[in-house]
């Protein structure tokens, strides 16, 4: 089962299955990466063909939006399961800590990375904090890429936000020496250390976590949630509707 939006197919994988898949992967296998698109991400890749290609090149594409899932069901689509980046990180960290595994973190501040290691003492954390605007600085971008490759960790958290972490993931994957799995998960590690609070479960399952986050960080998120995302959501709805119409016509 899958749903396609703007040419991007989502995998029908829940958090538990994604976690098992990542943990079972040979840590010496070539590097691959996981993307967790939400409305905001789709708004960006709709306008950027290069970014869309990077998302399509991911080993796993997990739906990180209950709003999109509700909309798809409303329009008659059999939707993949929602597997958010925050839930995936929350499931993976204790499992990696129990294995005393190495974890590479690209992003976060040094104190935040230290707190992550305190919360999960079994982890061997290799941390690299790129400077602001690293994605527009060739040397800084290359330093982040090299840090991830050199760490050779089974899992690398790319906690840099869209659309900075995904091009970095693709650049790491292009290096034949790179190993492990990269998770493009934005602020998810901040939830893991308590720097950000998740929405209550009821709001989460109702697809209203965005409202919780907007109330928590209005200055940072108002433009995204109130200005950029609504037109994108309308475009997503139109794309889903066109797909449903094509499916109905082909089945006749």
- Which residues lie closer than 8 Å to 173 by C-beta, 6 or more apart? 30, 31, 32, 33, 57, 182
Can you give the pTM of this predicted structure? 0.89
Residue corresponding to tokens 């890749």: 45
Residue corresponding to tokens 């989502």: 10
Nearest to 84 by CA among 238, 177, 204: 204
Backbone angles phi, psi at 26, to 5 degrees: -60, 120
- Which residues lie closer than 8 Å to 190 by C-beta, 6 or more apart? 108, 112, 159, 196
- Pairwise CA distance, residues 249 & 220, whole Å: 43
Digit-by-digit pLDDT tens for the chain (252 residues) are: 557 777 788 999 999 999 999 999 998 999 999 999 988 888 888 778 889 999 999 999 999 988 888 888 888 777 888 999 999 999 999 999 999 999 999 999 999 999 999 999 999 999 999 999 999 999 999 999 999 999 999 999 999 998 899 999 999 999 999 999 999 999 999 999 998 887 777 777 777 777 777 788 888 778 777 777 888 888 888 888 776 666 555 555
| Cβ atoms 94, 15 nearer than 8 A | no
| Cβ atoms 61, 9 nearer than 8 A | yes
Nearest to 233 by CA among 55, 9, 69: 69
Backbone angles phi, psi at 95, to 5 degrees: -65, -40
- Burial category of 162 from C-beta neighbours within 10 Å (exposed 0-12, middle 13-18, buried 19 and up): buried
- Pairwise CA distance, residues 79 & 11, whole Å: 10
Structure token pair of residue 40:
């905001």
């Amino acid at each position: 089962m899958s749903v396609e939006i703007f040419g991007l197919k989502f995998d029908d994988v829940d958090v538990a299955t994604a976690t098992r898949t990542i943990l079972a992967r040979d840590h010496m296998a070539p590097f691959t990466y996981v993307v967790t698109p939400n409305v905001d991400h789709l708004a960006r890749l709709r306008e950027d063909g290069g970014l869309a290609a990077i998302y399509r090149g991911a080993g796993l594409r997990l739906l990180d939006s209950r709003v999109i899932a509700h909309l798809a069901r409303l329009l008659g689509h059999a939707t993949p399961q929602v597997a958010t980046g925050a839930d995936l990180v929350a499931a993976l960290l204790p499992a990696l800590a129990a294995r005393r595994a190495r974890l590479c973190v690209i992003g976060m501040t040094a104190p935040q990375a230290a707190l992550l290691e305190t919360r999960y003492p079994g982890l061997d954390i290799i941390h690299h904090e790129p400077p602001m605007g690293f994605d527009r600085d060739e040397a800084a971008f290359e330093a982040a890429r090299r840090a991830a490759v050199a760490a050779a960790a089974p899992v690398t958290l790319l906690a840099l936000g869209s659309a900075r972490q995904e091009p970095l993931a693709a650049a790491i994957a292009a290096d034949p020496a790179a190993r492990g799995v990269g998770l493009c998960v934005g602020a998810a590690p901040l939830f893991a250390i308590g720097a950000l609070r998740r929405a209550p479960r009821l709001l989460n399952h109702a697809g209203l976590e965005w409202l919780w986050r907007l109330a928590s960080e209005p200055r940072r998120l108002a433009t995204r949630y109130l200005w950029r995302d609504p037109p994108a959501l309308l475009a997503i709805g139109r794309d889903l509707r066109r797909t449903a119409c094509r499916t109905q016509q082909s089945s006749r």
